[in-house]
A = this chain, B = another copy of it.
């Protein structure tokens, strides 16, 4: 189901088969695990058994001596570059922390942190060698929960972490790496004017991105310093730049060849194995391949930050929000860098609130360094705010959607972080679910209905596209964006639309970092927006060149030739007409091949997206099991280039949200060890757990994109946890404020309610 606005497109808005579909369905697509090179060695990584320990020494001599072992590498093999802070496209990071997260130097700060890499002639020898590496640890007490980590006297993870308090370095050693605040209006006056105020506290679990394909990297370091890396990554250029920084090696000497990717969700932006494979290749002179096990993925790669959040909101008599305050502390994991800024931007973004304040903290704990996960830090914030909103509506006696609509953000609304919204689709998205028949289905006993809305701002960044016209009028399109969700096709469609071609006429390739202009990560819901825009511009470039060719062919000035509806024609001589394919066949006689290219870096124009849910659940009062009966998601895509892939993103994000809501979490032992690092024990939703996810694409075109695209990948994971919590409340009358809302927590809450 889709609400369509705007221009009458030929290709955009249709649902062609994805270009890479057959190869992926038939198992022919080449993933990182498929890479095999002549003379290749196999690597394994030794990982810390402790959540927190000082490394006194590492003795690799016995491992090196094992027959079949070709090299062992440790942090000592990194060049002796002074520590520095650098921006690698995902926020400023410290080089030392970046390196320590790849191979620990002086400390380990989470169980599973890499300590050494081994390359051997086969995987079994490499594994055997791990046991021969002797690491002398001084074991320290761990701290794995954000509030405990913030306390005075908590075990200190880093001597070098000092709290950055509202932008100023306090010099105070602490696990709080930074504290950020946004203020709007007069908070005290706002709350003073409130008729109803609700304040609640919440906690959310550490959850993993849960991609099926484990991290992998194969590297070959030639004696002339040329380093080639094959890897599954969300951003080949970002991987290149991280490896360049970690190894202090020029970007022009590094080629990253992106392989097909089996899911990322933000977790395949950081590099883990790539530099280790590179160091081992440099030492051995052979290509070296590394693949993580599933426990490695859980214990050593970025989950989303767990959080503690307190939200206080006030409304006036008329049901208008007058004040809101949020305190949010996020678990960065072993090194600073939870995306707290994003959380602060999103927390109150769905509403017009004249007086507001957000305090947000980046806190290190002895867990794996967190990584971006689909709208990072926004789902945690929405979980808190949307439950409070539900309670406010109830106290006001208003329908929860009417209450939200009354306060909904619109064009011109100023967010707490100071940004003033351009044209957005918050109201339209809320109306879409309000008008959905699923909002009116009668409920049975023990069933409840919840709604919620969430926001994600999306990003622009840099993208490049080149396009070469074939003599049959098809076009080879080259781009640098890892295709996770069908973006080869959504980019190709935008190119095709400009030139009156079919999606199938475009032959898109995702190429290595040497073969296309700089292109940022597949993340931030940016690819269809920004790389699609680059494709639009490259098509304009091709069109302009083709006009010159037509003019040459007809021996008329180029300004006498126009292009419309797929046809090049002479303005005043109707006999002179050629469609794109006819003209393509004549390129050879008019000067040779036509190649177009474009780069974009949209600084403004990125359009934020809103997603809203209606969820119906049934709660078993005896077991506490929550069954999702119906799940509806409406989302403003701006313009849905390929509606099926937009729906896929909406469904995928919703399902992950259901996982966060009901099942997923890292269980930690007292010693800070993850106790459930397998898919048997870490439960992501399966098809049996889920209803069909109903989707409604709302289209409020983004004025900052040629086709109105906003970006769709992240917003749908933001509201589900709150919507499910609100539905559980509807079914049971108890409000759960801790994620996940496991059966035992439901039962406990019901028992507490019964106990009165």
Interface residues of A (CB under 8 A from B): 21-23, 26, 28, 30, 34, 36, 38, 220, 222-224, 226, 250-253, 255, 285, 462, 464, 466, 468, 470-472, 474-476, 478, 505, 507, 509, 511-519, 588, 591-601
Contacts and interface: CB of A to CB of B under 8 A. Distances in A.
B509 A514 contact: yes
A402 to B, nearest CB: 44
Given A595-B599, A599-B592, A476 B22 contact: no
Contacts of A588: 462, 601
Contact of A462 (B466, B593, B601): B593
A473 B600 CA distance: 19
A3 to B, nearest CB: 32
Given A22-B222, A26-B285, A255-B509, 16 more contacts: A23-B222, A23-B226, A28-B222, A252-B474, A252-B476, A462-B592, A466-B595, A468-B518, A476-B513, A509-B512, A511-B515, A515-B515, A517-B593, A518-B592, A592-B600, A593-B599
Contact of A252 (B26, B250, B507, B517): B507
A505 B592 contact: no
A701 to B, nearest CB: 23
Nearest to A286: B28
B511 A511 contact: yes
A507 B518 contact: no
Contact of A466 (B28, B220, B222, B597): B597
Given A34-B38, A505-B252, A468 B464 contact: yes
Nearest to A465: B595
Given A468-B464, A472-B251, A595-B466, A514 B518 contact: no
B478 A514 contact: yes
A291 to B, nearest CB: 15
A511 B510 CA distance: 12
A108 B302 CA distance: 64
A593 B464 contact: yes
Nearest to A460: B592
A633 to B, nearest CB: 31
Contacts of A38: 30, 34
A26 B255 CA distance: 19
Contacts of A222: 22-23, 26, 28
Given A21-B224, A226-B22, A250 B472 contact: yes
B515 A478 contact: yes
A26 B79 CA distance: 25
A61 B594 CA distance: 48
- Which of A36, A220, A599: most chain B Cβ within 10 A? A599
Contacts of A472: 250-252
A478 B475 CA distance: 17
Contacts of A513: 476
A492 to B, nearest CB: 12
A593 B597 contact: no
